[in-house]
Amino acid sequence: MPKKVREMGIVIGTLSTGEKNCITDVAGVRVGHVTLDEKMNQDGAYACTGVTAILPHEGNLFQQKVTAASYVINGYGKTTGLVQVNELGVIESPIMLTNTFGVPAVTQGTLQFMLDTNSEIGLLTGTINIVVGECNDSYLNSIRECPITPEHALEAIRKASTETAEEGAVGAGKGMMCFGYKGGIGSSSRIVTHGSTNYMVGCMVLSNFGQSSDFLAHHYVATSGQSESTISPTDGSIIIVLATDAPLSNRQLTRVIKRCSIGLGRTGSHFSHGSGDIVIGFTTAHRIAHQSDELVETRTQLREDHPIMNQLFAAAAEATEEAILNSLSQAQTTIGRNGHKVEAYEF
C-alpha cells in the first residue's frame, strides 16, 4: 500500500502531527469520496475523475454555519461561492471538489442535498451559498463527456466520515497530476500548543500543478530513481482546504490561510499563469446560528499579537507542504483517456 511521506522518514517542519495526520484530526470534520474509473462508451471515452466532499461538522451546516475565508493565490480557476464566503465570513454547505466541467453537476447535487435537509431554504428564508472547487483532469479524464452527475455529489456527502481520509488517486483526485506525476488528494495536520491549550490545524489538497522540472525533490530525498516526466497539466491548479478548531475571526483566518502559499512554494510551485491556486479555510470554533432574535452575538478569538498566531502560520505552511507530498506518495500509476498513463512518483 502507498505510504505517507512521514512513514518514509520525510519529516516536514517542527510541529507535531495529529493522530491521523489528516484533516479529520480537526474534531467533527468529515471527508467523503466518489471515484469514477471506467470506460464510458465504444468510442474510447473514459471516466477518470471523481468528487470529494469536506464537511466542517456533523450537524446541519445551513442552520449552524462556521467562520470561513478564502484566499486566491492565482486566480485561474472556476470555483463557486467564494465571493459570498469572503463577504459574510461563513460557510454554510459542504466544501466540494471535482474536475472543471463537473462544477455545475456537483453544485446541483450539493444544492439538492441542502434543500432536502432544509425545507425552508428559498421559502421562509433566503437562498444558500454552495462552495465548489475544481482542477482540470482532462489528460486522464474525458472531461468533455461530463461524467460527473449530481448523484455523485450526493453520494460523496453521504459517504463522509471522520475516519482517516483516503488519499492519492481517489475522489476528485482520480485524474489529477502533480509535477508531471500522479497527484490528487493529500492531507496532513499539525498541533499548536500554548501551555495546556492545544489547537489542531488540518489540511487537504487537490493537487494538479507543476512540471517535473519544477519539483524540488532534492529537498526531500538525496537521490531518486524516478525519471523526469515530460507530462504537464494543460491548466495546472491546486485547491487547498484548511481546517482548524482555533478561535479565529474570518480576518484572522484569512491571515492564516495565506501561509498555505508558503507550503505550496516550498515544493517548487511558482503559481504559474494557468494555475488556479486557491485556499478555502474554516474554523469549527464557532457555530453561527442561521436565525437569531439577538441584536448582538459574541465570539471568542485569539489575540493578534499572541505567539500562538505564529504557530498557526507555521502549521498552515507545514501541513500544506506535507499534504502535497502525500498526494504524490499515495497516488498510484493511472491509465485513463486514450491510454494516457501517468506514473506514480517514487520517493
- Active-site residues, by number, are 237, 275, 277
* Closest among 40, 171, 28 to 99, alpha carbons compared: 171
CB 32 within 8 A of CB 159: yes
Cβ-proximal residues to 83 (8 Å cutoff; 6+ apart), any chain: none
β 95-99/131-135 pair status = parallel
* Closest among 253, 160, 261, 272 to 213, alpha carbons compared: 272
Q: Residue with C-alpha cell 459542504?
A: 94
Interatomic CA distance for residues 205 and 23, integer angstroms: 10
* Closest among 163, 214, 161 to 328, alpha carbons compared: 214
* Closest among 29, 3, 10, 76 to 241, alpha carbons compared: 29
CB 24 within 8 A of CB 56: no
Buried/exposed code over 29-58 (b: 16+ C-beta within 10 A; e: otherwise) = bbbbbbbbbeeeeeeebbbbbbbbbbbbbe
- What three-state secondary structure class fits 190? strand
- What three-state secondary structure class fits 294? coil
CB 244 within 8 A of CB 300: no
* Closest among 184, 95, 107, 72 to 139, alpha carbons compared: 184
